[in-house]
Chains A and B, each alone.
Chain A
Amino acid sequence: MAECHPVGFQWVVEAKARGAKVFHVDPRFTRTSAIADRHLPIRAGSDIVLLGALINHVLANELDFREYVTAYTNASSIVSDDFRDTEDLDGLFSGFDPDTRKYDPSSWAYAGGRQEAAAGQRSEQFEGGGRREDGAGRGQGEPEAGEQMEGGARHAEAAGADQYGSGGAETEARPLTDPTLRHPRCVYQILKRHFARYTPEMVEEVCGIPREGFTELAEAITANSGRERTTAWAYAVGWTQHTVGAQYIRTASILQLLLGNMGRPGGGILALRGHASIQGSTDIPTLFNILPGYLPMPHAHRHENLDDYLAHAGADTGFWGRKRSYMVSLLKAWWGEAATEDNDFCFGHLPRLTGDHGHYTTVMAQIDGTVKGYFVVGENPAVGSSGGRTQRLGLANLDWLVVRDLTLVETATFWKDGPELRTGETRTEDVATEVFFMPAASHVEKEGTFTNTQRLLQWRHKALDPPGDCRSELSFYYHLGKRIRARLSDDEIDRPLRELTWDYPEEGERAEPSAEAVLREINGTGPDGRALSAYTELEPDGSTRCGCWIYCGVYADEVNQAARRKPGREQSWVAPEWGWAWPANRRTLYNRASADPQGRPWSERKAYVWWDADRGEWTGHDVPDFEKDKPPDYLPPEGALAEAALAGTDPFIMQADGKGWLFAPAGLADGPLPTHYEPHESPLRNPLYGQQANPARRIYHREEAPYNPPQSPRFPYVLTTYRLTEHHTAGAMSRPLAYLAELQPELFCEVSPLLAERLGLVNGGWATIVTSRTAIEARVLVTDRVRPLRLAGRTVHQIGLPYHWGWGGGGLVTGDVANDLLPLVLDPNVYIQEGKAVTCDLRPGRRPTGRALLELIQEYRDG
C-alpha cells in the first residue's frame, strides 16, 4: 500500500500512531513492510491457505463474533444434502463435469424449496426451453440439443458472478435454518469441516510463513475484532491476478464476516485499485458482460425479451428486486421516446452475448481474423497485458486500429519497432494494419468525474484547453457517434443507432459535448424532466430515465454533487460533503451491520449508524445503507418482493436473503467455498488435495503462448510481478517524465543473495528470465528483501519483477516487457489472468537477440 498508494497509506500511518497493529503479507519486503509492525513473507499464490487457516483458527476456537454471525450471515442456513465438499472429493466440489471443465452448481443450493436449483435452475430453465422448476441438472437433467455443456453451468460462460449484477445470485429470501448452528449441513458446520485441514502447519509448509508469525497474526486479528474493535484487510491485484482470484476475496470475506468486521467503521475488505477511475469504469462499464450499474448484458440463449431477462438476471428479493426499474430506466435513457412498453423499451436493440467475450478471448479472435477494427483508449496492451507477444500478433492482424493516448505508446508503434521485428518474425511492410493515432486530452484539459477506490465520485474542473489535436474521449466518442449517425441507412440494423439519444449540448470552439449534461443523464430524470434524487425514485413503467441506477443522486436537486468540496477539516470524519459516493452518498456499505440486531451500536467506540426509536428512523454518522424507516423488528410478509422481503435485521440489502454469505449457494464458477489450488504454473504439488489447480480455470491452448509444465525442473523458480512507487502501469504516464524516469531508470529483477550466489548473478549486472512465452533481460538487484522459502522440505526461490518498462512509448527510459513472460490462463469467474504467480528460469547475463532468442525459447519448450 505504501508502494502503490502512498497517499492512502497516510491513514495507516495515522492508525499505527493511534495504536493499530499493521501486518504486511507479501512475497516481497516492500516499502509497506518497512514500517509495518510485522512482515509475513508468503509464497505467491498461496494466500487461501493463510486465510483459510485463520478461518479455521476462528472456528476451531469459537472466536467468531457469534451474535453478528447468527444474525447477519448465512451461517445457520441449511445446504442441500446433494452437496459434496472438497473434503469428500479430494479437491473437487459436487457438480463438476470433467469434459467441459465446468461446474453445475445446483447441488450447492440451500436445502428445500425452490432455491434448490439456484443459478443452475435459471440457466437450465431457459436453455432447455422451459424446464420444470426443479430441473436443475444435478446429473439427471437431460439438456436439450445444442445445450450439451449445460446442467446449469452456462453461467460460467458469461463471466460468472457478474452476470447476476450487483445483487449476487438469486436464492431464497428465507431458507431453512438452524440457529443453533449444529445441523451437520448448516453453513457453519460445512465451513468448519471444509477449513479443518487449513492448519498452521499447512501454512508453514505451503506459504512459508513460520508458525510464530501465523500465531501472532491470528491472535492480533481475533483480539482486534468484536464489539469494541475492528480489523480491516486491504488488498490489490496481488490477490486477484490468480486462477482463483475471486476466491481469494471470498476467503477474506468469510473471515471478516465471522469476525463481524463488515459494514462497520474500521472494518471491511478494501480493494486498492490501480487506476484513477477503474472503479468508475466497472460501475459504468467498458466491460463486455455488464451494463451500467452491474446489470448483466443480455445473453442470446437466456434473454429473448425483457421479461426473460429480468426473470433470470438475479434475485427478486432485496434491493436487486427492483431491477426492472433500473433496466427500464437505462433503456429509456438510451433510446428515449423510442423506448415504449409496447416494444419492450427497445430491449431488442441490445446485442447479445454467447459466451466469454473478454479481453484475452478478443485477442485470440484478432489473431484468428474475426476482429477487424480495434479501439485502444488510454490502455497499452502491447506491453501492459499478459502475453505481450500474443497481443501484438493480434494487433498486427487487424484491418484498422485506433489508439488514443497522451504519448505514442507501444500499442501504436508495434508495427514500426515491436520485438517481433527484431526477432525477424515479422517485417513492417508485412503488417497490414492501418493505424490512427489520436492524441488525447490530459486530466486537466477536460472536465468530468473519476470514481476512486472507495466509490467516491469527484468532479474535476477543466484548467485549460487541450493542445493541438488533443481531445477528450468524451469529445471523440460524441463526434464519432455523430458522424456514424450521419452515415446510416433505413436498414433495421441501424435502428438502435438512429433512435439513440445523442443530443448533448456543444460548448466552445471545439464543440465539446457537455460533460455535466452526460452526468445528468447518468443521474437520471423523472417524468417532469427534473433530475432524480435517489434510485428508489426509479419506476418500472418507463416514466423515469437513468443511465446508471447506482449513480442516481449524483445530480440531485440539479446540483453536481460530485463537485462538492467542503474542506475536510470543516466537517465530520466521514466527510459526507466532499464529492459524492454511490449509492446514495453512503461512505460505508452495508452499515446497518454496525448496529446490533436491535439497532443499537455494537459499542460506543464503534457507533456508526443506529436506530432512533423516538424518531422512528435510522441515523448516525453516515447515510444509513438501509431503508430509513424500516424498524429493526420488521418481519417481511409471505411472498414479499424486493427490499420488503428483507427483515429489519438483514443488513446485506443487495443479497437475496439480506445475509452475508459465508457459503455461496450460487453465483461462482469454481465452488461455493474457497479452496487452495496451486497456480497453473507451480513448482509444487498441491499439498492439500489431489486436485492440483483450479479445475474450472480458463485455459487457452495456443501456440503463441504455451504454458510451462507444472513442477517442471526447467522452470524451477516462482516469478511474481508488481509495481513500483515511481512508475505507473506499463510506463506511458511515467517513463516519458524525467522526474520519474530518473528515479527508477531500468527494469530489474529482485533476487535473494542465496539464489544470486547459486546462479552467479552479480548485483547491478544482467540476468535473463525465461518462460515458455519468451525471455527478457533485466538488471539484477540482489537483496535480502527477497527471501528463499522453505516449503515441504525444499527451498523455493521467488523472483520479483516490476512491469513498468517497454521498448518505446515515448519513454526516456526503456526496457524489456515483463508481461511478455506471463501465461494466458484465467480465473473462471471474472476472467482475470494469473500474473502474480508463475514459474520461470533465471540465467546470468543478457538475453540473446534476433533469431537466437527464438531458438532459446524453443529449447526451453522442447525441454
Chain B
Amino acid sequence: MAQGGWISRWPVLRQLRGENARGSAARSARTDALRPRTEDADSVARSVCPYCAVGCGQLVYVKDGRVTQIEGDPDSPISRGRLCPKGSASKQLVTHPGRQTQVLYRRPHGTEWESLDLETAMDMIADRVVRTRRETWQQEEGGKVVRRTMGIASLGGATLDNEENYLMKKLYTALGAIQVENQARI
C-alpha cells in the first residue's frame, strides 16, 4: 500500500497519477493467496448426478473428510461438464444441515420421536419381518401354491443403485414378499 493516508490510496487519485493502483497495487495478501479450493482436495471421486435420469458426470472433491465442491465432469460425453440447478446444488444436498443422520423411532401411539441405536433398530426390524412373515404366510390360494406373504410390502428404488435394487428384489422374493414397487409405476 502507498504511504500518505487513505486519500492517497483512493484509486481515482492513483489513476490520475498514472499508477496501476487499481490493479496489482490494491491487492490484499488474502487476494494474493487465492486459488481454487478444488486444488487442495485430498481426493476427487468420479460420480453421477442423483437427480434426473440424464446421468450427468460429477466430480466430488473431498478435503478433511468433507465435501468441498461438486461440479460437472467435463469428460462425460453425456453432459460435457455441465449441470442443471439441481445438479449444481448437489454439494448442498449432501451437506445441508437438515439432513437426518441418526436413527429415529416412533413407538405405536407415540407422540414424539425417540432415539435408537442403529444395531438395535436393525434387530427390531429383522424381528418384525420374521414375525409378520410367519403370521401372514400364505401357502396356497384358490387351490394353487403361492408361498408368499401379503403382509410385507416395499416401495422405492428409482433413486437407488442397481446393486441395491438387486439385493432388495432378491431378499424380498426369497421372503415371499411380492408387493414390491417403485417410482417406475408412477
Bin the interface of chain B by size. 35 or more
A444 touches B70 (CB 8 A): yes
14 A–B pairs (Cβ distance < 8 Å), ordered by A: A7-B54, A286-B181, A297-B178, A374-B154, A378-B157, A379-B159, A433-B106, A439-B100, A443-B47, A460-B47, A474-B164, A483-B126, A734-B89, A830-B185
The interface residues of chain A lying within 8 Å CB-to-CB of B53 are 5, 272-279, 452-453
The interface residues of chain A lying within 8 Å CB-to-CB of B54 are 5, 7-8, 452-453
Interface assignment of A636: CB less than 8 Å from any CB of chain B: no
The interface residues of chain B lying within 8 Å CB-to-CB of A549 are none
Complex: how many Å from CA A366 to CA B147?
Answer: 20
Give B165 Cβ to nearest chain A Cβ, in Å.
Answer: 5
Complex: how many Å from CA A725 to CA B85?
Answer: 7
For chain A, residues 603 to 619, give those with C-beta under 8 angstroms from any C-beta of chain B: none
The interface residues of chain B lying within 8 Å CB-to-CB of A743 are 85
Interface assignment of B52: CB less than 8 Å from any CB of chain A: yes
A285-B169, A568-B77, A726-B85 known; A435 vs B106 contact (CB < 8 Å): yes
Known: A285-B180, A488-B130, A737-B96. 11 other contacts (CB 8 A): A354-B142, A362-B155, A365-B150, A374-B152, A379-B158, A379-B182, A436-B104, A464-B45, A578-B77, A739-B88, A740-B92
Interface assignment of B135: CB less than 8 Å from any CB of chain A: yes
Interface assignment of A434: CB less than 8 Å from any CB of chain B: yes
Interface assignment of B31: CB less than 8 Å from any CB of chain A: no
Closest A residue to B50 by beta carbon equals A443
Contact with A along B158-186 (1 / 0, CB 8 A): 11111111111111011111111111111
A277-B53, A378-B160, A444-B67 known; A373 vs B153 contact (CB < 8 Å): yes
Complex: how many Å from CA A6 to CA B159?
Answer: 19
Interface assignment of B2: CB less than 8 Å from any CB of chain A: no
Q: Of A348, A446, A519, which contacts B162 at CB under 8 A?
A: A519
Closest A residue to B181 by beta carbon equals A359
How would you classify the secondary structure of chain B's contact residues: helix, strand, loop or mixed? mixed
B103 touches A436 (CB 8 A): yes
Q: Of B150, B158, B181, which contacts A275 at CB under 8 A?
A: B158
Q: Of A359, A571, A733, which contacts B186 at CB under 8 A?
A: A359
A483-B123, A740-B89, A810-B100 known; A415 vs B106 contact (CB < 8 Å): yes
- Interface 9-mer from B11-19, B21-29, B55-63: B55-63
Give B69 Cβ to nearest chain A Cβ, in Å.
Answer: 11
Complex: how many Å from CA A726 to CA B123?
Answer: 39
Of the listed residues A241, A354, A430, the one surrounded by the most CB atoms of chain B closer than 10 A to its CB is: A354
The interface residues of chain B lying within 8 Å CB-to-CB of A812 are 98
Complex: how many Å from CA A578 to CA B46?
Answer: 13
For chain A, residues 392 to 415, give those with C-beta under 8 angstroms from any C-beta of chain B: 399-400, 402, 404-408, 412, 415
- Interface 9-mer from A180-188, A211-219, A493-501: A493-501
Complex: how many Å from CA A286 to CA B163?
Answer: 11
For chain A, residues 423 to 455, give those with C-beta under 8 angstroms from any C-beta of chain B: 428-439, 442-446, 448-454
B150 touches A371 (CB 8 A): yes
Interface assignment of A673: CB less than 8 Å from any CB of chain B: no
A277-B53, A407-B100 known; A446 vs B161 contact (CB < 8 Å): yes
Give B17 Cβ to nearest chain A Cβ, in Å.
Answer: 44
A433 touches B108 (CB 8 A): yes
Interface assignment of A799: CB less than 8 Å from any CB of chain B: no
Complex: how many Å from CA A488 to CA B47?
Answer: 39
Closest B residue to A445 by beta carbon equals B94
A372-B151, A456-B55 known; A286 vs B157 contact (CB < 8 Å): yes
B185 touches A464 (CB 8 A): no
The interface residues of chain A lying within 8 Å CB-to-CB of B107 are 434
Complex: how many Å from CA A277 to CA B168?
Answer: 15
A287 touches B78 (CB 8 A): no
A436-B121, A737-B96, A832-B185 known; A280 vs B165 contact (CB < 8 Å): yes
Complex: how many Å from CA A408 to CA B141?
Answer: 38
B174 touches A497 (CB 8 A): yes
Contact with B along A342-354 (1 / 0, CB 8 A): 0000001111111
The interface residues of chain B lying within 8 Å CB-to-CB of A287 are 157, 180-182, 184-185
A351-B176, A464-B65, A740-B86 known; A449 vs B163 contact (CB < 8 Å): yes
Of the listed residues B75, B117, B134, B155, the one surrounded by the most CB atoms of chain A closer than 10 A to its CB is: B155
Give A150 Cβ to nearest chain B Cβ, in Å.
Answer: 13
B162 touches A277 (CB 8 A): yes
Q: Of B96, B112, B145, B178, which contacts A736 at CB under 8 A?
A: B96
The interface residues of chain A lying within 8 Å CB-to-CB of B100 are 405-408, 437, 439, 810
B147 touches A351 (CB 8 A): yes
A284-B162, A374-B155 known; A571 vs B181 contact (CB < 8 Å): no
A463 touches B142 (CB 8 A): no
The interface residues of chain B lying within 8 Å CB-to-CB of A496 are 173-176
A461 touches B46 (CB 8 A): yes
A287-B185, A464-B67, A736-B96 known; A481 vs B171 contact (CB < 8 Å): yes
